[in-house]
Amino acid sequence: MAGPGGDMQWCFSQVKGAIDDDVAEADIISTVEFNHTGELLATGDKGGRVVIFQQEIENKSQPQFRSEYNVYSTFQSHEPEFDYLKSLEIEEKINKIRWLPQKNAAQFLLSTNDKTIKLWKISERDKRPEGYNLKEEDGRYKDPNTITSLRVPVLIPMDLMVEASPRRVFANAHTYHINSISVNSDEETYLSADDLRINLWNLEITDRSFNIVDIKPANMEELTEVITAAEFHPHQCNTFVYSSSKGTIRLCDMRASALCDKHSKLFEEPEDPSNRSFFSEIISSISDVKFSHNGRYMMTRDYLSVKIWDLNMENRPVETHQVHEYLRSKLCSLYENDCIFDKFECCWNGNDSVVMTGSYNNFFRMFDRGQRRDVTLEASRENSKPMQVLKPRKVCAGGKRKKDEISVDSLDFNKKILHTAWHPQDNIIAVATTNNLYIFQDKVN
């Protein structure tokens, strides 16, 4: 985390969302994603809505203040449905948003709930036509007999209007609940993964998709693991990985066969069988997998740790970072209140030198791989004065609690940071608490 001036210091920049403690379920943030330039930041929530923020052009006269993110567009992406045939309620919660690389003036993103993926086009309109021959300005049609001459309509400037329209709806391809979508580097295809299957789509074609992974056993009684996340390699269009609830990651090559049930590589850390407990498998379940930007590593998040794997080494991770090891002695109560099943995500910074993930009590953790240092920070309204530097937090696992430390028993397990995102180039991060979005940036030296 050391910049040219030394240590990086994170400062509060902005917070979005309601202040009141009474959180409506629809306002629970379920996904956060920067686009490929970092100019746009999208959030999805449990109510099926997407809000996109845009970074304003930097204020050149005041270089110490980085630009702000303001609302650019908001729309209802998914709506609640009821499958009457299966007696199944389909939530409108947005599970994932993934941006497509920009090809023209418009922006495109994929958003998905449990069952349906949608491709949204977000376009700007800053001109409108004026001077039609057959229509009045308010849209009423003129009597053609009153027209004596012809004119060419002109485009005149208008206030910027940002429109979101659904361009494709990719439906009916998943029996189970979609947990991941990932756009291929070929920019033509993408994958969608549910608990038992992974499908490959062409962005242009909605009535057909190819099944590339199927781990459903013939007899469901024999089910031992489910798919928890999947992602395409950032550069190799034939390669993707998927993680499982048993803590394994499989790398597949689509050139090998049409159905990639047989993996090319299996990443698994051997477990000491004497350490095995009732909780072992549950806490080993991988909740997120992310390739590094350079494509040489991948990061996985399980309940207590973040692991970094070298794609060339399958038998163990090259780094393991403890997120909140102090929770190991609280697993019983975390199982009882279901927190043990919380799915935390993780992310890389632009040059793959730092990784970040969330924790409880609105804490989030950063691990500097090169400096071998880590820090715990907090997203809270108390630390939200403009450009206020975030003070590192410390959790006291046991014994004597020092001043400024917080004891494990005082942690608020309802305040979870599951979703975080890092700007692809700059040191700007977006951290989602239950219903608020915090934006932090490093203090420019």
Partner 1 sequence: MSGDNEDTQTAEDTSVDEKEVQEKVISPEKVEEAKLKSRYPNLGNKPGGSDLLRKRLQKGQKYFDSGDYNMAKAKIKNKQLPTAAPEKTEITGDHIPTPQDLPQRKPSLVASKLAG
Question: What residues make contact with partner 1 under the rule CB under 8 A?
Answer: 16-18, 26-27, 29, 43, 45, 47-49, 51, 71, 74, 76, 79-82, 86-92, 114, 176-177, 195-196, 220-221, 223-226, 245-246, 272, 274-275, 277-282, 285, 328-332, 335-336, 435, 437
Q: Which is nearer to partner 1, 308 or 395 (CB)?
A: 395
Pick between residue 39 and residue 194 the one whose CB is nearest to partner 1.
Answer: 194
Tell me if 292 sits within 8 A of 299, measured CB to CB.
Answer: yes
- How many other C-beta atoms are found inside a 10 Å radius of the C-beta of residue 424? 17
Provide the phi-psi class of 344: left if phi over 0, else alpha when psi is between -120 and 50, else beta: beta
CA separation for the pair 428, 10 (Å, rounded):
9
**What is the nearest approach in angstroms of partner 1 to the Cβ of residue 169?**
16
Count CB-CB contacts under 10 A for residue 293. 15
Q: Which is nearer to partner 1, 92 or 352 (CB)?
A: 92
* Token pair 């001036």 in the structure block, residue: 5
Shortest separation between residue 440's beta carbon and partner 1, angstroms? 16
| Of 92 and 368, CB closest to partner 1 | 92
Closest CB 1 distance from partner 1, rounded Å: 28
Q: Give least dist CB 322 to partner 1, A.
A: 13
Q: Minimum distance from CB of 329 to partner 1 (Å)?
A: 4
Q: Catalogue the long-range contacts made by 16-21 (C-beta closer than 8 Å, 24 or more residues apart).
A: 16/51, 16/53, 16/436, 16/437, 16/439, 17/435, 17/436, 17/437, 18/435, 18/436, 19/381
- CB 100, min distance to partner 1, A: 22
C-beta of residue 274 within 8 angstroms of C-beta of residue 317: no
CB of 223 to partner 1, least distance (A): 5
- Give least dist CB 399 to partner 1, A: 14
Return the amino acid letter for 415. Answer: K
Kindly write down the DSSP assignment for every residue of 122-135, as one continuous string: EEEEEEEEE--SSB
What is the β-pairing status of strands 117-130 and 154-170?
A: antiparallel
Closest listed residue to residue 74, CA positions, set 53, 98, 46, 100: 53
Residue 237 CB neighbour total at 10 angstroms: 16
Residue 206's contacts (CB-CB under 8 Å, 6 or more residues apart) are 168, 169, 170, 171
Those residues whose C-beta lies under 8 Å from the C-beta of residue 409, and which sit 6 or more positions away, are none
